[in-house]
């Protein structure tokens, strides 16, 4: 093996291997390469001293600098939170009625609300806020509101929830079950009448009579619903739990009513304000009818 010799042409030592007459020269490494290599070794030693390097059972050894990627993340999050402080304070001072006046603040509130919505609301209402007809989660994109669709009404619903027993100011409404109250013909007639309100069936006198006796108290004589009771509008194209005959029958005989938790105790008022702004911005938001021009609602400039 060790058959090293000096190659004549290049005056360089060979490594002593030979394959079919081909030999390899033992050329020394270029100096710049060697120095770079030494520098990397020095760099590695310095790095091991300064930064976490040796993996232990729990975590790696602490470097002299005390740096860690978790620590860096925590610091960045802290800075991000700090940057939000001014905005949150400003939002806390503005009454929700005045929020649309400040379009920049509104835009930031909508953006913040979008994030909060994904965390807290999308489980039921869906990530696009489209709800679910089968499960009865209301669609927040449309212009039908059970409890009102202006910013203040939305905020109230979020704070107090719907049919949430632990909150005594919660949105409350109950539709009684009509199981056994109607015979088959009466049920068919009232379903027809309800469908006729939105032009999907022929009106009939019997159904109208039953509706006036049993339903109009909450849903109104024209079936327009009533927000004070949270009674759905039956004359529009939107159905919370489906709009065909079978759906209507089921809902009349044994109404299912959704529950939404009161978020007032779980979320801070600023987040709720942002959520209200976001839901309002989804396309169906309504203007304030009477408060918009009320001079008594003024922006509180003091924190």
Partner 1 sequence: MNNPDETGAGKDRDWSVVLDDGVAKTNEPVSSATASTGAPTRRHEPHEPPRTQMPEKLYEKRKAVHNKRIDGPFRRFKWFVMFVTLAIYYLTPWIRWDRGPFAPDQAVLVDLANRRFYMFGIEIWPHEFYFVAGLLIMAGIGLFLVTSAVGRAWCGYACPQTVWTDLFQHIDRFVDGDRNARARLDKAPWGPKKIARRSFKWSIYLLISLATGGAWILYFADAPTLFTDFFTGQAAPVAYATVGILTLTTFTLGGFMREQVCIYMCPWPRIQTAMLDEKSLIVTYKDWRGEPRGSLKKAKKDPEHYGDCIDCNQCVAVCPTGIDIREGPQIGCITCALCIDACDRVMKDIGRPRGLIDYATLEACREEAQGHPAQPAWKALLRPRTFVYFGVWGGIGVALLFALGTRSHTDLTVSPDRNPPYMLLSDGSVRNSYTLKLRNMESRPREMEVSVEGLPGARMWTDTINAREAAPSITFNVPADQIRTVRAYVMAPSNTTSREFTFRLTSLDEQRETDTVETRFDAPAGGS
Q: What are the residues binding partner 1 (CB under 8 A)?
A: 3, 7-12, 18, 20-21, 23, 27-28, 30-32, 103, 106-107, 110, 126-128, 130, 139, 141-144, 198, 233, 236-238, 281-285, 287
Task: Give the shortest CB-97-to-partner 1 separation in angstroms.
Answer: 15
> Residue 12 pairs with which residues in a beta bridge?
7
Helix, strand, or coil (residue 227): coil
DSSP H helical ranges for 121-183: 122-125, 151-160
Q: Can you give the length of the chain in residues?
A: 303
Cβ-proximal residues to 122 (8 Å cutoff; 6+ apart), any chain: 129
Closer by beta carbon to partner 1, 178 or else 229: 229
Closer by beta carbon to partner 1, 12 or else 169: 12
Closer by beta carbon to partner 1, 30 or else 176: 30
Task: Give the shortest CB-280-to-partner 1 separation in angstroms.
Answer: 9
Task: Give the shortest CB-101-to-partner 1 separation in angstroms.
Answer: 12
Closer by beta carbon to partner 1, 253 or else 291: 291
Cβ-proximal residues to 169 (8 Å cutoff; 6+ apart), any chain: 160
Give the phi and the psi of residue 190 in degrees, each rounded to 5.
-70, -35
Task: Give the shortest CB-283-to-partner 1 separation in angstroms.
Answer: 5
Task: Give the shortest CB-144-to-partner 1 separation in angstroms.
Answer: 5
Closer by beta carbon to partner 1, 214 or else 235: 235
Q: What does DSSP assign to residue 76?
A: H
CB atoms closer than 10 angstroms to residue 114: 18
Task: Give the shortest CB-141-to-partner 1 separation in angstroms.
Answer: 5
Residues 176, 178, 181, CA angle at the centre, nearest 5°?
135
Helix, strand, or coil (residue 276): helix
* CA distances (Å), origin 252, targets 92, 185, 190, 257: 43, 14, 9, 12
Closer by beta carbon to partner 1, 62 or else 142: 142
Integer Cα distance of 258 and 161 in angstroms:
10
Residue in 223, 232, 121 with CA at minimum distance from that of residue 175: 232
Give the phi and the psi of residue 22 in degrees, each rounded to 5.
-100, 130
Terminal Cα distance for the chain, rounded? 88
Task: Give the shortest CB-23-to-partner 1 separation in angstroms.
Answer: 7
Closer by beta carbon to partner 1, 139 or else 251: 139
Task: Give the shortest CB-276-to-partner 1 separation in angstroms.
Answer: 14
Closer by beta carbon to partner 1, 7 or else 244: 7
CB atoms closer than 10 angstroms to residue 146: 21
């Amino acid at each position: 093996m060790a058959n090293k010799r000096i190659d004549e042409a290049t005056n360089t030592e060979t490594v002593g291997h030979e394959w079919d007459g081909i030999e390899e020269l033992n050329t020394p490494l270029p100096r710049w390469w060697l120095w770079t290599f030494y520098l990397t070794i020095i760099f590695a030693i310095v790095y091991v001293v300064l930064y976490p390097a040796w993996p232990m059972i729990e975590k790696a050894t602490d470097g002299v600098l005390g740096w860690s990627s978790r620590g860096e993340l925590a610091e960045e999050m802290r800075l991000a939170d700090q940057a939000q402080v001014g905005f949150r304070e400003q939002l806390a001072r503005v009454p929700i009625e005045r929020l649309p006046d400040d379009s920049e603040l509104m835009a930031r509130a909508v953006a913040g609300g979008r994030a909060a919505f994904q965390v807290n609301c999308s489980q039921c209402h869906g990530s696009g806020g489209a709800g679910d007809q089968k499960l009865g989660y209301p669609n927040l994109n449309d212009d039908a509101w059970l409890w009102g669709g202006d910013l203040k009404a939305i905020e109230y619903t979020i704070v107090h929830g719907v049919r949430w027993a632990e909150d005594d100011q919660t949105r409350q409404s109950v539709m009684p079950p009509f199981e056994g109250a109607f015979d088959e013909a009466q049920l068919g007639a009232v379903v027809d009448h309800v469908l006729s309100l939105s032009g999907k069936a022929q009106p009939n006198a019997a159904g109208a009579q039953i509706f006036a006796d049993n339903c109009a108290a909450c849903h109104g004589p024209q079936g327009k619903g009533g927000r004070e009771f949270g009674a759905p509008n039956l004359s529009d194209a939107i159905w919370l739990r489906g709009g065909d005959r079978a759906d209507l029958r089921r809902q009349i005989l044994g109404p299912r009513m959704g529950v939404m938790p009161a978020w007032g105790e779980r979320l801070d008022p600023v987040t709720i304000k942002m959520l209200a702004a976001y839901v309002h911005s989804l396309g169906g938001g309504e203007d304030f009818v009477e408060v918009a021009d009320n001079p008594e609602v003024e922006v509180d400039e003091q924190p």
